[in-house]
Chain A
Amino acid sequence: MTDPVMGRIHSTENFGTVDGPGVRFIVFAQGCRMRCEFCHNPDTWNIKSKKAKMRTADDILEEAVKYRPYWGEKGGITVSGGEPLLQMDFLLDLFKKAKAQGIHTTLDTCGNPFTRKEPFFSKFEELMNYTDLLLFDIKHIDTIQHKKLTKHGNENILEMAQYLSEIGKPVWIRHVLVPFRSDYDEFLDRLNQFIRSLSNVDKVEILPYHTMGRYKWDELNIKYPLEGIEPPGQDRVENAKKILQVDQYTGYQTR
């Protein structure tokens, strides 16, 4: 017998209503390479954090199914983070076992680890067989700005989006609207063009930047880079929704 694959888990949440369809059980994976300036979970960055719990897929699922009666027809589990794709083996094990129980699986990812190189790509291809939906974060459409905002480029992220479009895997595109960073019509236009080139987008969500995770930066003693930047006003959110034509994406209602 081989040892079970362990996941580094930051925490779980039994009543997720904003990360995918229906009521969902959310698993927050520990560890992320991106360093987004607006991150509201910087406590999930360090993959080696001692506060993370080492858990097996069976253990997670046993906890999750206690809440299955509340999920309705569309709900299920969502793995978020951190960046779940950094723990591919665990994720595969978890989703495989979840699908065996008929559970709807959603992956909330920023796409940062994506590469066509092996061994990642084969595993990713396999993972997609057990993934019903991706919540796919595009932090910035412009490569240079993306790097400023997250400390990483976005070439592979856009490539992943195209790959998902090729295989027809349903995605919800999510875009955090940050004043002085991404909230410019020019960038939003370009993002819109990109999203429109994809064939698999069921929903586009604007997530207005907020400061509710701010206290975590202070707790971790990291300097907060967006000091003084206020959340976008309702008019800017509406503007972004209009430019990104969010009303056009209705696949989520029927899928």
Chain B
Amino acid sequence: MASVTNNTENVNTTAWEGFKGETWRHEVNTRDFIQENYTEYRGNDQFLEPIAESTDKLWAKLQELFEVEHEQNGVYDMDSNIPSTVTSHGPGYLNKEEEKIVGLQTDVPLKQAFQPFGGIKMANNALQSNGYEVDEDMNKIFTDWSKTHNQGVFDAYTPEMRRARSNKIITGLPDAYGRGRIIGDYRRIALYGIDYLIEHKQDDLANTGNRTMTDDVIRLREEVTEQLRALNDLKTMAASYGFDISHPAETAQEAIQWLYFGYLGAIKSQNGAAMSFGRVSAFLDIYIQRDLDKGLISEAQAQELIDQLVLKLRMVKFARTPEYNELFSGFPIWATLSLAGMGIDGRSLVTKNDFRLLHTLTNMGPAPEPNMTVLYSSHLPEGFRTFAAKMAKESSSIQFENDDLLRENWGSDDVAIACCVSATVTGKDMQFFGARANLCKAVLYAINGGIDEKTKKQVGPKYRPITGDSIDYDDFIEKYKDMLAWLAELYVNTLNVIHYMHDKYSYEAAQLALMDTDLKRTFATGIAGISHAADSVMAIKYGNVQVIRDEDGLAVDYAPQNEFPTYGNDNKEADDMANWIVEYFITQIKRQHTYRDSAPTTSLLTITSNVVYGKATGNTPDGRRAGKPLAPGANPSYQDGKYLGEKNGLLASLNSTARLNYENAMDGISNTQTINPTGLGKDEDTRIGNLRNVLDGYFDKGAYHINVNVFSNDLLLDAQENPEKYPNLTIRVSGYAVKFRDLTREQQNDVISRTAHDRM
């Protein structure tokens, strides 16, 4: 909502000294500010500086704390009786003398906050499962006297929703934890200061509705009022650290600090999935460049500030339950940081800061967080593409997304990634995140007339099952379509319940205060098991699948009699089958009513939950064995059963993934690949160059995303046996990076069993 009045006279003018452009001065518009002021960098990495002494000390201290945390199964300490809010804790430090950027989630480094608003049961469960006592007063307050998101959801769920959930045809629903995936435009605090933002929000509040108090107007007025409260809370929190953020930042150090305070407010007040950090690189570079030009700081000091910001992002922690950790293992939080990208005017958005941010992986070593995400295009300057490929090769900590697709489809060059692959226009869009439906399992429901092959319960509708010894393709496909239509309806209705209750009981005021009042909302659904679904349908079409039944006549195993084309081998028909399934499903999703008239999207993304989903899924017609992990995200299946696997090498596999249509899966398509270093060439320069070539080609082919791992399986086997040798070994799993030692043995085995591409 555009502001009616101009409040520029309240802005401290020295803060904006030397900045160009007009539009951003008269409205909250950080994108315009960036476009008017950033300096594109087309050089190489030669200017980068090593780690500063202060950062080195902080990092050493933090690593000691990480060791304690690791020994205590991922929990350094936990709060049990201070419900976490923006202002709930006094200031905390890692080492005050050395910290250039300050702020902790609680008063002690790595201590996890008590966050009951999503659900007191989950908060209590997190405490108990980690050996902490539940506080009875808190339990009473949030059970008897005050309601939580989780309680609201379960009050409204239908029996059918509960069945779908417990039988895992729909999994990972954010009904007991925060939905997350909302990125506040934290840059706004640095550029404008809180007071300016408050004035704008007050204008917005004054201009809600038009006299009639509809439900929507009432809700919006309450929400904006909560946002105003959150903005004041942010000021209070910053003041406790001795900073006045009511005014804009005047230096690079302040800009980083102000911006980080915004993010800190978000993670103090929400335990959400994928509380991403956004796209801050070029924005902060403007402040750093101004200070460099004025001689206020050196390049070494600039790197120090960036290192310390990243160090803070490596410290973000949330109290979570064993179930959550099983679903998303390795304690990921997805503080996703989006880098690089192209501008719509043809300049790249690459600045020296994109180098500095990636360089933190050298200065402090590889780490899972922040989730480093390069918005890639073959049009980015070669110096940066080479450096990004080099860092990906050295750290296995970087993911890449197709910036050309993002700009085209989201109409903006200020898109940031939430979670691993989900795009939002910074400050303008929010998404309702909603887990995923197992479309591979839906194949089995179609065959068995809605009976779950694992639990034997009638979960889906009692459609007529397939009864013969073999499966007729035409008969099957009609049943599959029916089942997908049923699943889409149930799934969207379930998510509608969740988002209604989340807005009501766990509203993300601190994040939404830093976004436009008039938001575009997307309704993110997700698909798990796409490769097995596609391969199963191909098996039914061409493989003459014989059905094996149990004593009750339920189909429990399948034997394809002959070969059939599979997804992931550059076979157009098999790849198109995957596309058809996604398109059919999203079409059914789009037919439903979505909460707050949000725009439906879907993703091909499973994070590490592919292991848990696979465990809940029986034998499938493609020959995949029951209980085996599903291939993650949009990955082709791995060698399992007689006919599966990527048989034609890396590039054929990439061609298949590139063929998946992003327009049908606008919440993102995830692909995780491991390449043996020797498979990339003989010497370092060749390997880096070839990896860059692969990235260029893959994205020019229209692919959306890739997680790049460069290591040999031997390394992982050694790390599994000798974890003490590899405390910081970081690898990309589906959608995020993780310390290898933090994965369960089962998940380690899954990663090891995946295809590592090498030359033949």
A residues apposed to B, CB below 8 Å: 13-18, 22-23, 66-72, 75, 205
Q: Is there contact, CB below 8 Å, between A72 and B682?
A: no
Given A14-B649, A15-B649, A67 contacting B655 (CB threshold 8 A): yes
By beta carbon, the residue of chain A nearest B378 is A69
Assuming A13-B759, A17-B690, A70-B698, what are 10 further A-B pairs, CB within 8 angstroms?
A13-B760, A14-B652, A15-B650, A15-B757, A23-B694, A23-B697, A67-B655, A69-B700, A70-B654, A72-B696
User: Would you give the shortest CB distance from A11 to chain B, in whole angstroms?
Assistant: 8
Residue interface bits B669-709, CB-to-A below 8 A is 1, else 0: 00000000001111000110110111011101100000000
Contact of B693 among A13, A18, A23, A66 (CB under 8 A): A23
User: Would you give the shortest CB distance from A65 to chain B, in whole angstroms?
Assistant: 11
By beta carbon, the residue of chain B nearest A13 is B760
B648 contacts the other chain (CB 8 A): yes
- Docked pose: A23 CA to B650 CA in angstroms: 12
By beta carbon, the residue of chain B nearest A14 is B651
Q: Is there contact, CB below 8 Å, between B679 and A71?
A: no
Q: List the 3 shortest-distance A-B pairs measured between CB atoms, nearest first.
A: A70-B697, A72-B693, A69-B697
Which B residues are CB-close (under 8 A) to A13? 649, 759-760
B453 contacts the other chain (CB 8 A): no
User: Would you give the shortest CB distance from A234 to chain B, in whole angstroms?
Assistant: 14
Q: SS class of chain B's interface: helix, strand, loop or mixed?
A: helix
Q: Is there contact, CB below 8 Å, between B693 and A15?
A: no
B570 contacts the other chain (CB 8 A): yes
Q: Is there contact, CB below 8 Å, between B689 and A22?
A: yes
Residue interface bits B639-668, CB-to-A below 8 A is 1, else 0: 000000000111110110000000000000
User: Would you give the shortest CB distance from A249 to chain B, in whole angstroms?
Assistant: 14
User: Would you give the shortest CB distance from A135 to chain B, in whole angstroms?
Assistant: 13
User: Would you give the shortest CB distance from A129 to chain B, in whole angstroms?
Assistant: 27
Q: Is there contact, CB below 8 Å, between A70 and B696?
A: yes
- Docked pose: A49 CA to B690 CA in angstroms: 34
Q: Is there contact, CB below 8 Å, between B679 and A15?
A: yes
- Docked pose: A71 CA to B681 CA in angstroms: 13
Instruction: Show 12 A/B contacts (Cβ-Cβ < 8 Å), sorted by A.
Output: A14-B649, A15-B651, A15-B679, A15-B759, A18-B681, A18-B759, A67-B655, A68-B697, A69-B701, A70-B693, A70-B698, A72-B697
Q: Is there contact, CB below 8 Å, between A67 and B696?
A: no
Contact of A70 among B570, B651, B682, B757 (CB under 8 A): B651
Residues of B in contact with A, size category:
20 to 34
User: Would you give the shortest CB distance from B689 to chain A, in whole angstroms?
Assistant: 7
- Docked pose: A122 CA to B697 CA in angstroms: 38
- Docked pose: A22 CA to B757 CA in angstroms: 17
User: Would you give the shortest CB distance from B695 to chain A, in whole angstroms?
Assistant: 9
Q: In the complex, which of the residues A13, A14, A22 has the most CB atoms of chain B within 10 Å of its own CB atom?
A: A14
Given A14-B652, A15-B649, A15-B679, A69 contacting B696 (CB threshold 8 A): yes
By beta carbon, the residue of chain B nearest A25 is B651
Which A residues are CB-close (under 8 A) to B698? 69-70
- Docked pose: A159 CA to B680 CA in angstroms: 34
Which B residues are CB-close (under 8 A) to A14? 648-652
Which A residues are CB-close (under 8 A) to B648? 14
Q: Is there contact, CB below 8 Å, between A67 and B651?
A: yes
Q: Is there contact, CB below 8 Å, between A75 and B693?
A: yes
Which A residues are CB-close (under 8 A) to B682? 18, 205
- Docked pose: A70 CA to B649 CA in angstroms: 13
User: Would you give the shortest CB distance from B739 to chain A, in whole angstroms?
Assistant: 29
By beta carbon, the residue of chain A nearest B694 is A70
User: Would you give the shortest CB distance from B712 to chain A, in whole angstroms?
Assistant: 14
By beta carbon, the residue of chain B nearest A68 is B697
- Docked pose: A13 CA to B649 CA in angstroms: 8
Residue interface bits B214-233, CB-to-A below 8 A is 1, else 0: 00000000000000000000
By beta carbon, the residue of chain B nearest A63 is B570
User: Would you give the shortest CB distance from B362 to chain A, in whole angstroms?
Assistant: 24
- Docked pose: A145 CA to B280 CA in angstroms: 65
Which A residues are CB-close (under 8 A) to B681? 17-18
By beta carbon, the residue of chain B nearest A28 is B760
Given A15-B649, A17-B681, A22 contacting B690 (CB threshold 8 A): yes
Which A residues are CB-close (under 8 A) to B694? 23, 70
- Docked pose: A205 CA to B654 CA in angstroms: 30
User: Would you give the shortest CB distance from B64 to chain A, in whole angstroms?
Assistant: 37
Q: Is there contact, CB below 8 Å, between B759 and A67?
A: no
- Docked pose: A17 CA to B757 CA in angstroms: 12
Which B residues are CB-close (under 8 A) to A72? 689-690, 692-693, 696-697
Residue interface bits B131-162, CB-to-A below 8 A is 1, else 0: 00000000000000000000000000000000
Which A residues are CB-close (under 8 A) to B759? 13, 15-18
Q: Is there contact, CB below 8 Å, between B655 and A22?
A: no
- Docked pose: A72 CA to B685 CA in angstroms: 14
User: Would you give the shortest CB distance from A212 to chain B, in whole angstroms?
Assistant: 10
- Docked pose: A72 CA to B759 CA in angstroms: 18
Q: Is there contact, CB below 8 Å, between B697 and A17?
A: no
Q: In the complex, which of the residues A13, A22, A70 has the most CB atoms of chain B within 10 Å of its own CB atom?
A: A70
Q: Is there contact, CB below 8 Å, between B693 and A22?
A: yes
Which A residues are CB-close (under 8 A) to B760? 13
Q: In the complex, which of the residues B652, B689, B698 has the most CB atoms of chain A within 10 Å of its own CB atom?
A: B689
Q: Is there contact, CB below 8 Å, between A71 and B697?
A: yes
Contact of B690 among A23, A67, A205 (CB under 8 A): A23
User: Would you give the shortest CB distance from A194 to chain B, in whole angstroms?
Assistant: 23
- Docked pose: A14 CA to B655 CA in angstroms: 11
Which A residues are CB-close (under 8 A) to B686? 17
- Docked pose: A14 CA to B697 CA in angstroms: 13
- Docked pose: A72 CA to B648 CA in angstroms: 20
Given A67-B697, A72-B696, A17 contacting B679 (CB threshold 8 A): yes
- Docked pose: A75 CA to B698 CA in angstroms: 15
Which B residues are CB-close (under 8 A) to A16? 759
Which B residues are CB-close (under 8 A) to A15? 649-651, 679, 757, 759
Q: Is there contact, CB below 8 Å, between A66 and B655?
A: yes
Which A residues are CB-close (under 8 A) to B700? 69
Which A residues are CB-close (under 8 A) to B687? 17
- Docked pose: A16 CA to B650 CA in angstroms: 10
Residue interface bits B198-210, CB-to-A below 8 A is 1, else 0: 0000000000000
